[in-house]
A = this chain, B = another copy of it.
Amino acid sequence: MGATGYAGAELARLLCTHPEARLVAASSVSFEGKKLSDVYPNLFGVCDILLEDEDAVVAKSDVVFASLPHGLSEALAGKCVAAGKKLIDLGADFRLDSEEEYNKWYGKAYLRPDLHAKALYCIPELHRALYNGQPIIGNPGCYPTSVALGAAPLLRAKLVSGSVVVDSKSGVTGSGRGLSDTTHYPNCNEAFSAYKAAAHRHTPEMEQTLSALAESEVKVTFVPHLLPVNRGIETTMYFDLTADVTAEELHKLYADFYRGEKFVRVLPLGRAANIRDVKASNFCDIGVFVDAHAGKAVITSAIDNMVKGAAGQAIQNMNLMFGIKEESGLELVPPAF
């Protein structure tokens, strides 16, 4: 659903080569009746699937991916659950536990609280143990994914205070396929600035996940910036250390925490995460630093916002839901350039 948005296009790219899934239907309100490759010429001859209506998609699928404006996924989730289908929602509707927070940031109430009880918010590396057959998965936001994976070991180890500075930078695809002054080429090329400083909707999602990891309230000051590249999110996080930790100890903490994880790469000590090195892949790279003189830990993380930050993680969640090997269809090697 919403196949002609950027997450939809990326899902199509990944599902095309998934060894255990098949893309059977796609829908788009704006382009119904056209082919997906009419909208995305990169897919010409590769994925010429017809864009149908919502009901066709629900009817034909075992699992539905929804990339819809917020507020539209609950109704769809109802249909899917009624029809015995699974739903992975790439929007914001199933991310927040607190209806009050949802209401505050999105200006809407929950229409179907019963469905929220059947939904799991899931970054697999952190939450897969909580999956027990829920038919709905709330796929995490792009920024929160980069933050949660970068912060988890420190928070779990209870080494830091409850206030975090999160300075993120996202490629332009994060703003989607819709036209805007902000994404008009001459406005964002050779440009760089913060936007929605300390006022971005992903803040409550971060605080929810980080507080759960820390088992105590964590406050996040989150400032996103628009980066003149197509893909990628780099997040630099600043934590007040509550204990003396060396960079070596911190690095070991991270390496141990993520040992065995296919998609999280703790970088060699001294190397910072670069969006270049995770491009078009499902990796999250993490670099760790200590500023001893100011008593802070500095964590850098990088993901591809459209893969680990959207379509790739959605497929990882699909694999989890269906008991498929988690990395299936996601063994994507990032190109060097």
Indicate whether A334 reaches chain B with its CB closer than 8 angstroms.
Answer: yes
Interface size of A by CB at 8 A reads: 84
Bound together, the chains give a CA A2 to CA B163 distance in angstroms of 46
Binary contact readout A289-323 vs B (1 if CB under 8 angstroms, 0 otherwise)? 11101101010101000100000000000000000
Report whether A238 and B238 are in contact in the complex, using a CB–CB cutoff of 8 Å. yes
One of B229, B293, B336 near A42 (C-beta < 8 A): B336
Bound together, the chains give a CA A41 to CA B42 distance in angstroms of 27
Report whether A273 and B228 are in contact in the complex, using a CB–CB cutoff of 8 Å. no
Report whether A197 and B298 are in contact in the complex, using a CB–CB cutoff of 8 Å. yes
Binary contact readout A26-50 vs B (1 if CB under 8 angstroms, 0 otherwise)? 0000000000000011111111000
Report whether A265 and B45 are in contact in the complex, using a CB–CB cutoff of 8 Å. yes
Bound together, the chains give a CA A167 to CA B177 distance in angstroms of 29
One of B192, B287, B296 near A232 (C-beta < 8 A): B192
Using Cβ atoms and an 8 Å threshold, which residues of chain B touch A334? 42, 46
Report whether B231 and A41 are in contact in the complex, using a CB–CB cutoff of 8 Å. no
- Given known A183-B184, A189-B189, contact A225–B236 (CB-CB < 8 A): yes
Write the nearest CB–CB distance from A12 to chain B, whole angstroms: 8
Write the nearest CB–CB distance from A275 to chain B, whole angstroms: 5
Contact residues of A with B, CB < 8 Å? 6, 9-10, 13, 16-17, 40-47, 163, 165, 167, 169, 172-173, 177, 179-181, 183-195, 197-199, 219-221, 223, 225, 227-232, 234, 236, 238, 265, 267, 271-280, 285, 287, 289-291, 293-294, 296, 298, 300, 302, 306, 331, 333-337
List, sorted by A's number, 26 A–B pairs whose CB atoms are closer than 8 Å: A10-B335, A41-B271, A42-B279, A46-B333, A46-B334, A173-B186, A177-B186, A179-B181, A183-B184, A183-B185, A183-B186, A185-B185, A189-B230, A190-B230, A190-B337, A191-B274, A192-B302, A193-B276, A194-B236, A194-B298, A197-B272, A197-B291, A197-B298, A220-B294, A238-B238, A306-B337
